Structure 1
Amino acid sequence: MQLSSPSRGRAADASARRRPGRVASGPQVFLLLLALLPAVAGCGTRLPDSAFTARATRPAGATPGATAGATAGTTAGATAGTGEGHGSANPASDTGVSATEIRIGVVTSLTSPVGSEVFSGPRYGAQAFFQALDDRGGLHGRTVRLVTCDDGGSGVGNQDCVHRLIDQEHVFAFVSGSVLDYAGASYVSGKAVPDVGGQPIGTAYDRWPHLYGIYGSAAPRDGRSVGWNGTLYQSTEVFRFFKQRLGAGSAAVVAYNQADSARYAGQLKAGLEAEGYRVLLQTVDFALPNFQAVAAAVHADGSQLLFDAMDGRGNAALCRALDEAGVTVAAKVTNVQNWSESVRDDYRSSPGCRNALWATSSSLDYEDGQYPAVRDFRAAMARYFPDRADKLSAWELEGWAGAQWLTDALDSCGAAPTRVCVEAFMNRAERYDAHGLILPASFVPQPPPTGPVRACLNAARWQDSAGGGQGGWVTQVPSMTTNCFDVPQLPYKP
C-alpha cells in the first residue's frame, strides 16, 4: 500500500508519534500508514540564491557532486588501485572496522503490517551500491559488509534490531534506513553510531544527534525536543510550482474521517491557501468511502489539482471513480514514496487519472538517464536485482544516494576511518548532493525560520506514451537545482 501527498520538507515531518512496540492491525494499520505522509513542505532545501549560481551554468549532462569521480565505480577504482591501506596496512581503526572489511547496518520494516514493498526500496538501493563498490575493489582495500535486520514494523522489533546490530554485530554505522517506528533512535544516538541517509518517516532525524536523514536538517537535533522546541515547519514550494507551471488556482483535498488523516489534510489546506488557492476539502468514510460523490464534487468545483491524505487503496479507488465519471484534473500530486514503477499496475483500471499523476521530490528522477549517477544506479539495480525491474522507485535511488553519502564520508578518512571522522564530514558546512542525486543538504543548525526561504524541488509526470510506449516517469523541469521559489514556512506541532 502506498500513500499520496506532496514531498516531504527538509526540516519538517507530519507523522504522528507512535508508542514503541505497537503493532497495528485493521484500522490501526491506517494510523501507521499516515506516518508515511510527509509534511506539506515540499522537498525544498533552504539555500541562499548563491548556492545555486555555479549549478545554473553547469554544462548539460554534467554530474554535479561534492567529491568529483566518487561514484560507486570510480570511488572504488581510485582507492583500490593506489596501494593505500591494503591488507595488513589497514588498521582496525574503530568499531566495525577490520583490516579487510567495514560492517554497516541496515534496518528496514520489510515485513511490516503495511506490506513488504512500502519500506524496502532504500535497502535495495544501498545493497546495490555497496555490491558495485565491492566488485570494484572496495574502499581503501576493504569490502563493505552490510548486516541487515527486519524490524517487522514495530517499535519493539526496531529496538531489537538496533541492539543486535550495535551490541552483537558491532556495526560501524547505519545507512539508508526505512522503518515504520524508529523506537531505537535514542539508543543509536546514545552510542554515537552514525546513521546516514535514512528516510525521515518519523521525527527522529529532526531530534537526535548522530542521525543524518537523506534530506538534511536545520533543526538543533540536541535530543531534547523535536525541531525547534517541539515546532517544525512546512514550506509551500510544491504548491507554488503548480501555480506557476500549470496556472492552477484551485485544488481539492480528500481525506478519511479519521483524526490523523484529517489533521494532515488540514496541513495541505493551510499550505494551499497560503499560496492563494481556493480549496475544496472532501471527507469520506474510511470503511465505506463514497468516491463517486467526491468525483462529482471535484467536477462541480472545477478543481485543477488533487491532493489527498489517504492510503494506496483509497487512491486507486478514487482514481477509478474519477475516470468512470469522466472527471479530469490538471495534476494528481503524489510524493517521492509513490514515485515508482508500481503505478503502472496500481492505476491500470484508471489510465486517465494515471496520466495526471505528478510526483515531486528532493532527488533526481530514477528514470532520467541523462545523468551519469542515475545510469550507474540503474545499471547496478539491473545487475544485482534484475527481478526488481518492475519495482524501481525513487526510494531505491535515495537509498543508493545514502550509501554514496556514507561512502564519501568514509573515503574522507583515508585508510583509518573512525566515527568521529565520518561525523565531521556529515556536519561540515559544505552542502552535499550525492553527486547530483539529491538537492544540496547539510546538518548545520539554524535558528527557527522567521521569513521566506529559498526552496527547490524536482518534478516528474507519468506518461503512458513514454519509454517506447511502455509508460514511465518523465522529468518536467530542466534542473531541480534551479527550480526554486521564495516561499513562506508555516509552523506546526508534529
Structure 2
Amino acid sequence: MRPFRAAEALLLTLLLALATACGSRLPESAFAGRPTGSAGGEPLRVGIITSATSPVGGDAFTGPREGALAYFAALNADGGLNGRRIEPVTCDDGGSGVGNTACVHELVDEKKVFALVATTALDYAGAPLVDRAGVPDIGGQPLGPAYDTYPHLYGIYGSLAPRTGSSPGWNGVLYGGTEVYRYFRAEHGAGTAAVVSYNQAASAAYARLIVEGLRTEGYKVVTEQVDFALPNYRAVAADLRAQHADLVFDALDSHGNARLCEAMDEARVEVTAKVTNVQNWNAAVPEEYAKSPVCRNALWVTGSSRNYEDTDQPAVRAFREGIRGTLKGRPLAQWQLEGWAAAMWFTDAAKSCGADLTRACVERFLNRPEPYTADGLLLPVRFEHLAEPPKTRDTCMSVARWQDNHGWVTQGGDMTTNCASVPQIPYRP
C-alpha cells in the first residue's frame, strides 16, 4: 500500500474514458532493436505492454517502457543476463480492454515471453489471463486494482493485500495513507487545503478521498467543483484567494491542472504548494505551464521512487546515462526511472536463479521477506499478503518541488528518512 497511488491512476483512467468516448483500437506491436550483447544461449523474451496510443495521446504512458528498454539495452551491451541476451517484445494495447487482451494473447500465447515487465495499461483486462498462465508481471504501474488482486502480478509500489485473485485488496477494499498531508502540515505549517474536482463521478469520488485524508490530519478543507464540460477556473481561483488556501490538491486531468494554474496566476493566488503526482513528474513543466510562472514554481510532487534529478546518487547517474540515447527529444520523466527500476528488478530476480532459470525461482525472489529497492531507486517494496489490513503504517515518500532553472529539487531530506506513522484510509477502487 502506498499513498493512494492506485486510486490516483484509476481516477485518470476513468477521466480519460469519459473524455474520449471512442472505439477500441487494435494493438500495434513491434520488436525492440535486436540486442547486441554476447550470446551465451537463446535470447530470453520479455514482454512490455503499454497504452502508448491511448485516448490521451502523445507519450503520456510510454515512460515506463522507455526506461525498461533502455535498461535492457545497457544490460545486453554489458553481456546480457548470465550470458543470454534479453529480447524485449513490445505491444501497444491502444488504451482499451480489447487491445490489452489481444496484447496478452500475442505476448504470452504466441511470443511465449518468459515474463512481463513495466506494464502500463489503462485497462488491464488481460490481467486474469496473465495470472492464469503463471507469467510473472514485474514492476507494473497500478492503473487500476489488478496489482492488488492477482498473485502473479507485482506492482512497482508493492502490496500488502492477500492477492488471491478473487477481489482487490481485502474483500474489494484498498487502503492508502495520509503521509502526504502529514508532511505539508508538519514541515510547512499548512492548515487550509483546497480540493478541486470535476462534477463527474470518478473525479468527485477521488476528491472525497483526499478530503477525508486531509481532515484526518486536521486540515480545514475547502472543496471546489467545476463543470467538466465548461469549467470556470477563474471562479475557483478567486475563491482560493478568498479562503487563503495553503495547499491545492486536485482530482483533475493534466489539461485541467494547467488551466487551473493559469487562473491562479491571473488572480494572483500564491500557495505553499500546488500538489501533483508522479505522472506529472517530468521535465516538460516549462512548456506545459508556460503561462503560469508563479503556480509553476509552486508545483510539488510526491512519490515512491528517487528523484531523477538526484545525480549525486550512482543509481540515478546510471539511469540517466542509459536513457540518454533513447530519448530522441522527449523529456526526462520519473516514470522512465521507474521503468528502468522494473527491468532491474526482473534482472536481479533472474540472476538469483543462476543457470536454473524458472518462473517459480523468479517469483521466490519477488516474494522474499527482504524488501527490494533497485539499488536505492525505489522505496523498499514488499509483498506481504496480510490477512487483515493495518490500521496504521510507517510510510516513507520522496518529495520534490519544481524550480525554474533547477528542475525538480528534492525536499525533506532523503526519501528513506522522510517517513511517518500514519492512519490507513479505506477506499473502493
Identity percentage of aligned residues:
56
Alpha-carbon offset, residue 292 of structure 1:
0.8
Counterpart contact for 2:9–2:142, Cα < 8 Å:
no
Q: Which residue of 2 aligns with 1:383?
A: 325
Q: Does 1:193 align with 2:193?
A: no
Aligned equivalents of 1:26, 1:446: Cα separation in 2 = 37
Letter in 2 for 1:143: R
The 5 A counterparts of 1:337-486 are 337-388=279-330, 391-466=331-406, 472-486=407-421
Q: What's the CA shift string for 1:29-75, capped at 9, x where partnerless?
A: 8xxxxxxxxxxxxxxxxxxxxxxxxxxxxxxxxxxxxxxxxxxxxxx
Task: Output the CA distance in 1 between the equivalents of 2:236 and 2:5.
Answer: 32
Q: Distance in 1 between matches of 2:263 and 2:161?
A: 42
| Cα displacement (A) at 1:26 | 4.0
Shift of 1:11: 7.7
Equivalent position of 1:315 in the other structure: 257
Greater than 6 Å deviation, 4+ residue runs: 10-14, 16-19
Residue 10 (structure 2) pairs with residue 15 (structure 1): yes
CA distance in 2, matches of 1:366, 1:452: 29
Q: How does 1:157-176 map to 2 (within 5 A)?
A: 157-176=99-118
TM-score of the superposed pair, with normalisation by structure 2: 0.93
> Unaligned regions of 5+ residues in structure 1, if any?
1-6, 30-78, 81-85, 88-98, 467-471
* Aligned-partner Cα distance in 2 for 1:100–1:300: 66
Displacement of 1:257 after TM fit?
Answer: 0.8
CA contact (8 A) 2:3 2:177 kept: no
CA distance in 2, matches of 1:100, 1:318: 53
Q: Say whether residues 1:304 and 2:246 are aligned partners.
A: yes
CA contact (8 A) 2:162 2:385 kept: yes
Query: Which segment drifts farther, 226-235 or 9-18?
Result: 9-18
Change over 3 Å in CA distance of 1:113–1:240 after alignment to 2? same
Residue correspondences, number? 413
- Counterpart CA distance in 2 for 1:401 and 1:213 is 12
In structure 1, the residue matched to 2:31 is: none
Q: Alpha carbons of 1:173 and 1:163: their partners in 2 closer, same or farther (altered >3 Å)? A: same
Per the TM alignment, residue 116 of structure 1 is displaced from its structure 2 partner at its CA by: 3.0
Question: Given the alignment of the two structures, is residue 265 of structure 1 paired with residue 260 of structure 2, yes or no?
Answer: no
Q: For 1:383 and 1:362, how far apart are their aligned partners in 2?
A: 26
> Structure 2: any 5+ residue segments left out of the alignment?
23-36
State the SS of the aligned residue for 2:329: helix
Aligned to 1:208: 150
What's the counterpart of residue 45 of structure 2? 103
Q: CA offsets, 1:65-114, max 9 Å, x none?
A: xxxxxxxxxxxxxx98xxxxx73xxxxxxxxxxx2311000000000101
Structure 2 Cα separation of the partners of residues 122 and 161 of structure 1: 17
Counterpart check, 1:143 vs 2:85: yes
Q: Is the 8 A contact 1:195 1:211 kept in 2?
A: yes
Quote the Cα distance in structure 2 between the aligned partners of 1:365 and 1:104: 27
* Counterpart-to-counterpart distance in 2, 1:275 and 1:385: 41
SS in 2 for 1:306: strand
Q: Which residue of 1 aligns with 2:58?
A: 116
Cross-structure match for 1:325: 267
What is the CA distance between 1:28 and its match in structure 2?
4.0
Contact 1:13 1:232 in 2 (8 A): no
Cα offset for 1:386?
A: 4.0
Give the counterpart letter for 2:428 in structure 1: K
Deviation at 1:385, TM superposition (A): 2.8
1:139 alignment partner AA: L
Please tell me whether the aligned partners of residues 11 and 232 of structure 1 are also in contact (alpha carbons under 8 angstroms).
Answer: no
Q: 1:219 to 1:186 in 2, by over 3 A?
A: same
Task: Provide the secondary structure at the position in 1 that maps to 2:408.
Answer: strand
Pick 1 or 2: higher relative contact order, CA cutoff 8 A, min separation 6. 1
The equivalences for 1:75-86 within 5 A come to none
Structure 1's 404 and 109: CA in aligned 2 closer, same or farther, altered over 3 A? same
Partner Cα separation in structure 2 for residue 116 and residue 215 of structure 1: 25
Q: Alpha carbon RMSD of aligned pairs, Å? A: 1.9
Q: Distance in 1 between matches of 2:287 and 2:11?
A: 30
TM-score with structure 1 setting the length: 0.81
Whether 1:239 and 2:181 are equivalent positions in the alignment is yes
